[in-house]
Amino acid sequence: MNTIQKVILFYFSGTGNAKRIALWFSEFAIKNRIDCEIVDIAKCDKNIPPIDDALVCIISPIHGFNYPKITLDFIRNVPKGNNRVVLMNTRAGMKIGNFVTPGLTGIAFFVSSFILRNKGYKIVGQIPFDMPSNWLSIHPALNEKTVKYLHRTNYNRVEKHAVNIFSGQRDFLAYRDVIQDILISPIAIAYYFLGRFALAKSFYATIDCDSRGLCIKQCPVQAINLFHKHPFWTFKCESCMRCMNNCPKRAIETAHGLLIGVSIVSSVGFTIVVERVLQLEIHSSFIRFTLSSVIFIAILWILYYIQHVLLKYRILSKIVSLLSLTHYTCWGRYKSIPDKKWKE
């Protein structure tokens, strides 16, 4: 007999993976005659009202081995309560043969659990799901066969975990990955305070962009502005990949050439300015890394602005595109597929 009477599913999703998990949990809740509500975190106000007496599920992708800032901000803003909470994520799943290679949760569950417990909530589950990776700035889109397989596999996993959760059991599948999550935590911290700002300045729109503003309207964190009549990405960008994968003109790409160029310039600049001109001896690896990262982001911001202005010239736009892996057809695009496609 069900011990759960109502469940509220809060989700944030860039290309549909986390939303798909929320929809699947909702499907099984309805089958078990449990009242269910689905809420998009991106549409929530900062002043979140008290949550009803319900099981709360928070579902979000993993960005840089942590929840993205928009999800963490939501968790920080939820009012105090004593609800039971299940934390879930969609991390970068891959497939080799019939084996699903799992992603890494990193510090996402540690940080969010700490915040919520201090607000009075009871964490009763931490569950990762290896949905298809959408990080096209790093790797090409997964093929259709793999995407279907991962959707089918995770649907079955959702059903299994829903049985546990909706019957009132605790479900901490994430504990099996705790060692690697701890080991990867320094990278997660570096990404949150530095890396995500660099990636925010890696997106650009080619000259094929029609400037109709679909990416601006759909951005969940309002990180894209129209500047010089062309989309311009600000540091608010979460790298959720929604804009790139939803663009009907396929005009949004990652400036790999710019990132490589900035890496070279900042590295050489650090050596010349800090070590030769200022003659500073920095023995701390942490200080050296932090200082070089700040220099990298500062140079990236300047060159990104220059690149943005020059993109209006077709020949220069073409050169930038040729240096981007995401420009080529073989790199592909990704969005979570409807259930009817993988059930065929």
Q: So where are the chain's domains?
A: 6-187, 194-331
- Which residue type sits at 153? T
Question: 87 CB contacts (<8 Å, ≥6 apart)?
Answer: 57, 58, 108, 109, 112, 113, 123, 125, 126, 127
Tell me the DSSP string of 204-263.
EE-TT-----HHHHH-TT--EEEETTEEEE-TT-----HHHHH-TT--EEE-HHHHHHHH
Lowest mean pLDDT of 75-79, 93-97, 196-200, 293-297, name the range.
93-97
Domains 6-187 and 194-331 share a fold: no
- Cα separation, 291 vs 334, in Å, equals 35
6-187, what's its fold? Rossmann fold (3.40.50)
Share of the chain above pLDDT 90, in %: 80
pLDDT of residue 276: 73
Average of per-residue pLDDT across 169-190: 95
Question: Tell me, what DSSP letter sits at residue 311?
Answer: T
- Cα separation, 316 vs 94, in Å, equals 35
- Cα separation, 269 vs 287, in Å, equals 16
pTM of the predicted model as reported, rounded to 2 decimal places: 0.93
pLDDT tens digits, 287-340: 888 888 989 999 999 999 999 999 999 999 999 999 999 999 999 999 999 999
Tokens of 273: 């300015």
194-331, what's its fold? Alpha-Beta Plaits (3.30.70)
Q: 238, 63 in Cβ contact below 8 A? A: yes
Question: What is the pLDDT confidence band of residue 49, given thresholds at 50, 70 and 90?
Answer: confident
Which residue is listed with tokens 């499907």? 27
As separate numbers, helices (DSSP H) first and strands (DSSP E) second, the chain gives: 13, 11
Q: 4, 51 in Cβ contact below 8 A? A: no
pLDDT of residue 2: 54
Tokens of 232: 């311009």
Query: Which among 201, 234, 1 is positioned nearest to 226, based on CA atoms?
Result: 234
Residue 117, number of CB atoms within 10 A of its CB? 12
End-to-end CA distance of the chain: 33
The Cβ-side half-sphere exposure at 243, using a 13 Å CA radius, reads 32
